[in-house]
Amino acid sequence: RLINEMDRIYKEGIAQDIKENGLENIILRELANHEAYYTGTIDDTFETLKPYKITEEQIWKMYRNKNAKLTNN
């Protein structure tokens, strides 16, 4: 029962994060948290965002868009 309650709270936390921040901002936040622009890899970001049902393709898209903006300035 405790495990079920903890699982429910965890899922509610993810839903709240998505509601408050949106998927794009969550992806950008986690790319920055895992220093993807320094390492050139999204592996840690992808693992972190699996519970959010965000695909690797979505992360790569945001990574490329943001990286292009960073390198064009």
Predicted confidence (pLDDT) per residue in 35-65, tens digit: 999 999 999 999 999 999 999 999 999 999 9
CB 27, CB 58: distance < 8 Å: yes
Higher pLDDT, 36 or 69: 36
CB 29, CB 21: distance < 8 Å: yes
Rounded to an integer, the average pLDDT of 1-24 is: 96
Candidate from 9-18, 27-36, 48-57, 62-71 with smallest mean pLDDT: 62-71
How confident is residue 70, by pLDDT bands cut at 50, 70 and 90?
confident
Residue holding tokens 């992808």? 46
